[in-house]
Structure 1
Amino acid sequence: MKFIPEEGKRLHEDCSTLILPAVSIGNVGQLTADLFVSSMDSERVGYLDNPYVLPCVGNDAYGPLPQGDLALPLEVYDSPSNALTIIQQRSPVIKIYYLSSANNNGTDENCEQLGWKKLQEYDPSQTHWKYLIDLAEGNATREDIISLEDELEEENYYASLPFAALFSFLKAKGLKVTCLLCYCSEGDNISDAFQLADAACKLLKLSHPNSGIEGGKWQVPLSWMTVYGPPPDVSIF
């Protein structure tokens, strides 16, 4: 992954905390990143380029007045006054590209550079393989499953949630990392974003921005104004 700085700008060394949304159901993490960018006196200092992220482009997302800047898939914002760096990810990872980069023997140099390990060879004597086999064949009773779950250790579980692999990678590097979860469903997730932003502020011990919008806390991004289009004509009711 390559970082391309904006002309005349650079990353601030004082920004010691990175906020990174996970692309998941409801896009709550990305909406929360929008709130931080628009409300925390942030400026775009550059963007990230990676062939594994689906390319996209759009109009200026924040404003308050559009400046003609293009929105890109992976943007980097700094908020020196709050010691924050925010990465906004607007498109998902291209899984097919991941598969096409692997060698015939199953190895992948790109994945190895990121610290990801190849799945260990199949060994039916290992507890977690027996657990999966019994479930797949329908031979496991409730008592067997409970017994097997009691025997499972941390290394028997494989990361599956959107943030889990990155979380494990950062922990292995000795970095301090915390994941904030928000249970939600697809739909209008703006209220979920406000809740998650409030939780992040509390965790980071940041004062809420005083914008006079949404109870005097958060500045609504320009791009949110037309998320659902114009309101219906009241004369039709």
Structure 2
Amino acid sequence: MTLPYFEFVSVPGFHSQKLAGSTLLMPGPNGLGNIGQLALDLLISSLDLMRVGFISSTLVLPVCGNEDYGNETAPNTLHTSFEVYQSRPSNTTSITLIQLRSPVITKKGVLFSKSFAHWAQQMAFESVVLVTAADAGRRVDGQIRSDRLRFISTSDKYVHADRLQQLGFPRLEENETKRAWVASELASPIPPGAGVSRFIFDEFRELSVPLLTLIWFAIEGDNYQDALQLASAVRSLVNHGEDNSEQNTWKTPLSWKGLYGNAMFTKALFQ
């Protein structure tokens, strides 16, 4: 089967070979509350990642907008729906981050997942981390009584396995949760509300390519705190144990100025 168009287009002076060997972070497409996108927005802004290219795909709705991460006095920069960022050469940890600002087209989730999985395999990333949310209202009893973060991997030999254990991240209770959600044991272990993440997980598993999925149980609404906590978990994971006194310091993007829950919107507005 011919896969749909999925191509990396670099900015001038950047070569795609520089993607190899880095840790790839990507938000779960069409996930609940766009929490994966919000968490990675925080990482792009706070870690001062540089935009190195774009993904061209026929499976993502096209969109463009003004500057996301700068300030109001800086010249506007055009942003698109599917961009690629990377840590600066001076950083000791090499991170590549994909920001997806629009949904995958309806009924194209499987094709998108196949295209993304094969592209990620071709680019030879050291590891791939999918960052997403799931429906907190569909949790089983054991998940309600504990932290809202879970992880699941397509391989027990995942490159960040030791770091996960060191941080104490809880593994998704696969057998228990699958019985609560679906009758078929062949169904994806990814919880409801994660959007296209379940197809991506299944595709990486079928290709025997390691994929770590970080899942945050949440509900729709003001998801600032959810995004903050999920971003903190991702940053701790990819930090490789380095001591960082600014670990809890975050720079919110310019585009968050009008985010739901912002202090500029008071009760007086609705009276």
TM-score interval, normalised by the smaller of the two chains: 0.5 to 0.7
**Structure 1 pair 110–195 and aligned structure 2 pair: CA distance change class (3 A):** closer
Q: d(CA) in 1 for partners of 2:205 and 2:35?
A: 23
Identity of aligned residues (%): 31
What letter corresponds to residue 8 of structure 1 in structure 2?
G
Deviation of residue 9 (structure 1)?
2.3
1:224 aligns with 2:230: no
Q: d(CA) in 1 for partners of 2:62 and 2:252?
A: 25
Deviation of residue 164 (structure 1)?
1.4
What letter corresponds to residue 171 of structure 1 in structure 2?
R
1:177 aligns with 2:211: yes
> What residue is the counterpart of 1:19 in the other structure?
25
Question: Could you tell me whether the CA contact under 8 Å between 2:188 and 2:202 is conserved in 1?
Answer: no
Q: Which has the higher contact order (CA 8 A, sep 6+)?
A: 2
SS at match of 1:182: strand
TM-score of the aligned structures, taking structure 2 as reference length: 0.59
- Equivalent of residue 10 in structure 2, options 5, 23, 30: 5
Q: d(CA) in 1 for partners of 2:214 and 2:112?
A: 28
Q: Which structure is higher in strand share? A: 2
SS at match of 1:34: helix
Q: d(CA) in 1 for partners of 2:233 and 2:12?
A: 34
Q: d(CA) in 2 for partners of 1:41 and 1:222?
A: 13
Deviation of residue 79 (structure 1)?
0.8
> What residue is the counterpart of 1:46 in the other structure?
53
What letter corresponds to residue 38 of structure 2 in structure 1?
L
> What residue is the counterpart of 1:86 in the other structure?
97
Higher mean C-alpha deviation, range 39-48 or range 172-181: 172-181
Question: Could you tell me whether the CA contact under 8 Å between 1:15 and 1:78 is conserved in 2?
Answer: no
Q: d(CA) in 2 for partners of 1:180 and 1:109?
A: 22
**Structure 1 pair 13–48 and aligned structure 2 pair: CA distance change class (3 A):** closer
SS at match of 2:96: strand
Q: d(CA) in 2 for partners of 1:159 and 1:216?
A: 31
Deviation of residue 199 (structure 1)?
1.1
SS at match of 1:2: strand
Q: d(CA) in 1 for partners of 2:117 and 2:86?
A: 27
1:157 aligns with 2:187: yes
Q: d(CA) in 2 for partners of 1:109 and 1:93?
A: 10
Deviation of residue 85 (structure 1)?
0.4
Deviation of residue 17 (structure 1)?
0.5
Q: d(CA) in 1 for partners of 2:22 and 2:213?
A: 16
SS at match of 2:80: coil
What letter corresponds to residue 104 of structure 2 in structure 1?
V
Question: Could you tell me whether the CA contact under 8 Å between 2:114 and 2:203 is conserved in 1?
Answer: no
Question: Could you tell me whether the CA contact under 8 Å between 2:19 and 2:96 is conserved in 1?
Answer: no
Aligned length: 189
Question: Could you tell me whether the CA contact under 8 Å between 1:59 and 1:68 is conserved in 2?
Answer: yes
Greater Rg by CA: 1
What letter corresponds to residue 85 of structure 1 in structure 2?
T
Higher mean C-alpha deviation, range 41-50 or range 172-181: 172-181
Q: d(CA) in 2 for partners of 1:200 and 1:191?
A: 14
What letter corresponds to residue 227 of structure 1 in structure 2?
L
TM-score of the aligned structures, taking structure 1 as reference length: 0.67
Q: d(CA) in 2 for partners of 1:37 and 1:216?
A: 15
Deviations along 1:129-164, one digit per CA (max 9) or x if unpaired, are xxxxxxxxxxxxxxxxxxxx6xx774x225774211
Segments of 5+ residues of structure 2 without an aligned counterpart are: 1-5, 119-178
